[in-house]
Structure 1
């Protein structure tokens, strides 16, 4: 199994030239993923930030922005028509989609069978209520999004209590508030292979430490993981319900 091909550009951005380039990047990424037999292409919906394609901006939630993004996604899928590979959008703390309900609405609006869900629950932790009750956030995601879920990212979040108002940082698995028992139980209940990929660590030792935490929590939660070792996002089929990859996913950027 190849878990994913990452296309980290936002198609729905203010600059028309960048928007066109980003759209073509997703088209090429989907074609590459289809050749690899990858589970999905993971990308982002886009943002109205003038410099950052996934940055915070007050217009990220404007209806016209969402409508344009939906048309772009539909056009990409209608052009490529992937048979196995799904196109997915990362959930984000400050842009569409930013909740399970918002993701469901986006799925309904896109209305294409090749559009699916990539779950990175840390990206949803954008306020104290979610931070202190990540288990509820995860259970809601699995309750509402399970039929559409094809891949997940694994990391953690921690609050810097010295800073006012609230400030959250990404951190290594097991050093934050993410309820990994709820995460792994949710994956296990799916009854099918869904890759779970650690990300954003700097060294092999940090990845190994994160894996050890996942193994420990899985054992305590009674979840049998399929450990699959590969390189840079590739793996074999595990035959179990939760699959952990040793490295990050394929990263794809269109040539400039």
Structure 2
């Protein structure tokens, strides 16, 4: 196991090369009740079923199958490839028993859509493309239990509570869900100082569609005359975690509350301890 990633290690969105029984057991040992879907081939039905059974046996929910590539790539061959892989991700989520498959909308560029940002990403054209893609993924795979979701992201049309609500109505599919990353809605000082109100607004507008969350923290650099927001360890930033947790706890379905973007297993352990401590103060059992 020395060269393999265990639960909570540096890969946020799954672990490769780990026996499903050992991986599920490690999650339970660490007190996690939800896990990212491991990075496995959806066509490997034996491994998919073994993973599903291993996590079910340990009572650990599989939260999300993530495909973090650019489904809006401006190069046609790459775009088609990534959209086909996104179909695989949704299929995997359905077959493995995960809550959802998640990706960001992407960017009108060739290559990495996570870090190349374009003005076109905020246009009506982008909104219509997001609607069309969501319908295509869902109508092709036809999942009965897994949801397709766009992770909220500050660099495209999923950057606001209002736009998410518009997308839900426009996509008009039962299995189109919301992946709520509260930190990704914090894109200005006004939002930075009102994250609890934003969490309440999300639940008020589309709480019944929230299926998974990312739990992290953010800090605004000071002193500074320009806005610089940086992710930090849980508890070192300004996210109103207590309000966020209260709002999610009040929803009708169990919602995975997933840590991400940390560098080491020790950091994941520290963040998990902070979230559990906060939950205990609120009477929430994680």
- The alignment's TM-score, normalised by the length of structure 2, stands at 0.75
Larger strand share, 1 or 2: 1
1:232 corresponding residue in structure 2 = none
Task: Check the 8 A contact 2:72/2:109 in 1, yes or no.
Answer: no
| Superposed CA RMSD | 1.4
Q: Does 1:29 align with 2:89?
A: yes
Cα distance between partner residues in 2 of 1:191 and 1:103: 20
Q: CA offsets per residue over residues 81-112 of structure 1, 9 Å max, x none? A: 01110001100112121111110101111111
Larger helix share, 1 or 2: 2
Cα distance between partner residues in 2 of 1:225 and 1:134: 22
Cα distance between partner residues in 1 of 2:100 and 2:113: 20
What aligned pairs does 1:46-125 form with structure 2 within 5 A after superposition? 46-54=106-114, 55-125=116-186
Aligned equivalent of 1:148, options 209, 213, 217: 209
Task: Check the 8 A contact 1:12/1:69 in 2, yes or no.
Answer: no
Q: Does 1:208 align with 2:279?
A: no
1:9 corresponding residue in structure 2 = 69
The Cα shift of 1:39 comes to 0.4
The Cα shift of 1:12 comes to 2.2
Cα distance between partner residues in 2 of 1:75 and 1:46: 16
Task: Check the 8 A contact 2:94/2:146 in 1, yes or no.
Answer: yes
2:193 corresponding residue in structure 1 = 132
The Cα shift of 1:115 comes to 0.7
- More off after superposition, 116-125 vs 57-66: 57-66
2:245 corresponding residue in structure 1 = 184
The Cα shift of 1:69 comes to 2.7
- SS of residue in 1 equivalent to 2:183: helix
2:98 corresponding residue in structure 1 = 38
Task: Check the 8 A contact 1:91/1:124 in 2, yes or no.
Answer: yes
Number of aligned pairs? 225
Cα distance between partner residues in 2 of 1:51 and 1:79: 25
Q: Where does structure 1 lack aligned partners over 5 or more consecutive residues?
A: 227-256
The Cα shift of 1:63 comes to 1.0
Task: Check the 8 A contact 1:11/1:69 in 2, yes or no.
Answer: no
What aligned pairs does 1:231-250 form with structure 2 within 5 A after superposition? none
- More off after superposition, 192-201 vs 45-54: 45-54
* Structure having greater relative contact order (Cα 8 Å, sep ≥ 6): 1
Larger radius of gyration: 2
Structure 1 residue runs of 4+, over 6 Å off? none
The Cα shift of 1:51 comes to 4.1
2:278 corresponding residue in structure 1 = 217
1:239 corresponding residue in structure 2 = none
The Cα shift of 1:10 comes to 2.7
Task: Check the 8 A contact 1:185/1:223 in 2, yes or no.
Answer: no
